Amino acid sequence: MGGPHARTPRNPARPRVFATRWLPGPALERLAERSELRVWPEPRPPGPAELADAAREAEGLLCLLCDRVDAALFEACPRLRVVSSVSVGVDHIDLEEATRRGIPVGHTPGVLTETTAELAFALLLAASRRVAEGDRLVRAGRWTPDRAWDPELLLGRDLLGATLGVLGAGAIGAAVARRAAAFGMRVAVWSRTRRELPGVPEPLWGSLEETLRRSEFLSIHLPLVPETRGLLDAARLGMLPRGAILVNTARGPIVDEAALVRALESGHIAAAGLDVFGTEPLPLESPLVRLENVVLTPHIGSASLATRARMAELAVENLLAGLERRPLPHCANTVSNSRPNTIP
């Protein structure tokens, strides 16, 4: 590995860090000044064996949500003292195992809230007003003179006056609810805990079932944990009013994708805007790819220049804190027995 990716000779006074990808912004340069940083050199993510091999000597691991950090990896990397993920979600990390081993796991909540809410809203608007379909139609030369202004061309749905169901009233759910209220929507919410939703007049709190039945539009903002995996199965999707529009910027496996495809084909769900999928990258053979009424984006909820740079900064702060045996600014697990510091 070249450039700042690898430094030789090694300075034994500094902790070894392995990062699975170079990140936007100056954060990794800062990390390189305080550690022996190695960065995975390929544009593709490392596979599990490659990651285990590359991180074998590392005390700190900076990873992305496409890197599986599990018991086998911890076993292969006995010097690991901190894991820092450049993501808010940590479903790719075996938190229980990390906790058992006394390894704190950093993540990046807060900094990506508004950016992800913006993408959820972009998908909501795109799906309801058939923006991607319109784009495809124009590019394919199907906007023909006989349809110059066709009163029935690509009729969509208004947000104004409709009810948006929000599943999960964490920071991102609350930010989406606030945007919905500004668009004149009613907001129905299902969440484990109730909280103030500033900017949302009279949110309709309810059970999952009540919320689904109210949701002409639905936006998902839940973490992927065992209780939410497959939460939106065929039966629950069937509770949405006919013609509902669904947006998912959280995690794909929360929705039963096969059931969603059936609901989109039957028209029970009129359209969907999806940024996340059961398998990522979404295989081209997925039936979602051939459905006209679906807007697809490649897991870019947090993908603005400024936000990705802030995520990198926060991930580096978490990592350095762990290496220096300070509490992580944002720690996803509770670690009581941090392992002894092997760094001089």
CA gap 120, 173 in Å, rounded: 10
For ligand DGY, the binding residues in 86-105 under the rule CB under 6 A are 87-89
Nearer to ligand DGY, 103 or 254 (CB): 254
Nearer to ligand DGY among residue 65 and residue 264 (C-beta): 65
CA quadruple 234, 235, 236, 239: dihedral, nearest 10: 110
Write out the DSSP string of 128-142: HTTHHHHHHHHHTT-
Sign (positive or negative) of CA dihedral 232, 95, 277, 193: positive
- Tell me if 301 contacts ligand DGY by CB under 6 A: yes
Site for ligand DGY in 50-79 (CB under 6 A): 65
Q: How far is the CB of 112 from ligand DGY (least distance, A)?
A: 5
Give the three-state DSSP class for 1: coil
Nearer to ligand DGY by C-beta: 110 or 287? 110
295 binds ligand DGY (CB under 6 A): no
Beta-sheet strands, E only, within 121-278: 163-167, 186-190, 204-205, 217-220, 244-248, 269-274
Q: Please say if 330 is a catalytic residue.
A: no
**Binding flag, residue 84, ligand DGY (CB under 6 A):** no
Q: Does the footprint of ligand DGY cover residue 302 (CB under 6 A)?
A: yes
Query: How many residues contact ligand DGY, by CB under 6 A?
Result: 7
Which two tokens mark 80? Answer: 């690991």
Give the separation between CA 22 and CA 305, rounded to whole angstroms.
14
Closest CA to 318 of 86, 117, 114: 86
Q: Which stretch binds ligand DGY (CB under 6 A): 10-18, 84-92, 210-218, 254-262?
A: 84-92
Catalytic residue among 57, 195, 280, 325: 280
Instruction: Answer whether 265's CB lies under 8 Å from 290's CB.
Output: no
For ligand DGY, which is the closer residue by CB, 89 or 241?
Answer: 89
Q: Is 308 a catalytic residue?
A: no
Interface of this chain with ligand DGY, residues 122 to 141, rule: CB under 6 A? none
Q: Residue 204: helix, strand or coil by DSSP?
A: strand
**Backbone region of residue 282 per phi and psi (left: phi > 0; alpha: psi in -120 to 50; beta: other values):** beta
Whether 107 is catalytic: no
- 120 counts as binding ligand DGY under rule CB under 6 A: no
Which residues of the chain form contacts with ligand DGY (CB under 6 A)? 65, 87-89, 112, 301-302
Catalytic residues: 251, 280, 299
